[in-house]
Structure 1
Amino acid sequence: MKTNLITREGFDKLNKELNYLWREYRPEITKKVAWAASLGDRSDNADYKENKRLLRQIDSRVRFLRKRIEAVKVVEYSPQQDGKVFFGAWVEIENDDGEKKKFKIVGPDEIYGRNDYVSIDAPMARALLKKEVDDEAVVKTPTGEQTWYVNNISYQNPSLDND
């Protein structure tokens, strides 16, 4: 079950993708399909088959994006969040071995292609919610429990690199 929360940045990105697919990419592929279809016999026409396949993929993604954009709730930053870990926070954590991690807690639609984002649905994010700097968070992982300490929390896109 995916959480239907998303940051403003993530919401804008989904809308941008939808607009690109619908207004630019789909019309371009539709022209190619029409051109390939005009050549006659479609059974041996690789251009036609490939572009029809692309069109199906685009339409499927467009349907998904439209439903998702309707379903998600944009969570805007609020000053009351300062000092605690909530949705949209950049967090730096450290374990007893001195290993550090820095990431932003975001919606499940936003994590793809980003290794510095963690889904709000992930055990790590769940364990960190409402924690403050110097709090300890116990994260249940497949290999057992891990303890992490909160070093820094920010809602501005920090380069938390002030060490």
Structure 2
Amino acid sequence: MTQKPGPPITPAGLAALKARYDHLLGTERPEIVEIVSWAAGNGDRSENGDYLYGRKRMREIDRELGYLARRMKACRVVDPANQPDRTRVFFGARVELADEDDAACEVTIVGDDEQDAGEGRIGWSSPLAKALKGASVGDVRQVRLPAGVREWEVMAIHYD
């Protein structure tokens, strides 16, 4: 039985996940452990805010560390610079679009863990990215959004 490849992520996206993991493990968690140890030595823990908050924050950090470790292990690094067919939209493409009102925008298709609509980075499994997969310059694609169906024309495709 073949294993299904994990969700794609750019090298920069994986580096960001690793940096977050390293920061939590190397900086935040040791600080919280120190606070909890100090607070535990102060006696009654039931009304000790530092102790209670510290334990809660440590659980949050441990939960996030587990999530990040699983994501980094599961993700498949895809470098957009190695894309052989640069005439069509695939993972990592920076796409210039125009809608039916000739309003232009630019989006970059990235992994779901690194999406940020405010920065123009859309997740690989988003409705717009799904509609754009495989499109060439000049193609018009329809996207079903909560506000209704919109059409987008691919004006240019770039791979950085």
What is the TM-score when the length of structure 1 is the normalising length? 0.89
Q: Distance in 2 between matches of 1:10 and 1:113?
A: 15
Q: Against the structure 1 CA distance between its residues 69 and 48, is the aligned structure 2 distance closer, same or farther, given a 3 Å change threshold?
A: same
Confirm whether residue 13 of structure 1 aligns to residue 16 of structure 2.
yes
Gapped regions of structure 2 (runs ≥ 5): 1-5
Q: Against the structure 1 CA distance between its residues 25 and 112, is the aligned structure 2 distance closer, same or farther, given a 3 Å change threshold?
A: farther
Confirm whether residue 53 of structure 1 aligns to residue 38 of structure 2.
no
What is the 5 A alignment of 1:19-58? Answer: 19-58=22-61
Q: Which residue of 2 aligns with 1:96?
A: 100
Q: Against the structure 1 CA distance between its residues 64 and 27, is the aligned structure 2 distance closer, same or farther, given a 3 Å change threshold?
A: same
Give the CA deviation at 1:146.
1.4
Q: Distance in 2 between matches of 1:95 and 1:103?
A: 13
Give the CA deviation at 1:112.
4.6
Q: Against the structure 1 CA distance between its residues 94 and 112, is the aligned structure 2 distance closer, same or farther, given a 3 Å change threshold?
A: closer
Runs of 4+ in 1 over 6 A off after TM superposition: none
Match of 2:137 among 128, 133, 140: 133
1:88-131 residue CA offsets vs partner (Å, 9 max, x unmatched):
11111001211122111111111157441111111110111111
Return the letter of the residue paired with 2:75: V
Bigger mean CA offset, 129-138 vs 15-24: 129-138
Return the letter of the residue paired with 1:101: C
Q: Distance in 1 between matches of 2:116 and 2:129?
A: 16
Match of 2:86 among 74, 82, 86: 82
Return the letter of the residue paired with 2:12: E
Confirm whether residue 122 of structure 1 aligns to residue 126 of structure 2.
yes
| 2:112 partner SS | coil
Gapped regions of structure 1 (runs ≥ 5): 157-163
% identical equivalent positions: 35
Give the CA deviation at 1:7.
0.8
* RMSD (Å) for aligned C-alpha atoms: 1.5
Bigger mean CA offset, 111-120 vs 87-96: 111-120
Contact 2:109 2:122 in 1 (8 A): yes
Q: Against the structure 1 CA distance between its residues 114 and 29, is the aligned structure 2 distance closer, same or farther, given a 3 Å change threshold?
A: farther
| 1:118 partner SS | strand
Bigger mean CA offset, 27-36 vs 81-90: 81-90
Contact 2:94 2:157 in 1 (8 A): yes
Confirm whether residue 154 of structure 1 aligns to residue 151 of structure 2.
no
Q: Distance in 2 between matches of 1:113 and 1:37?
A: 43
Give the CA deviation at 1:4.
1.2
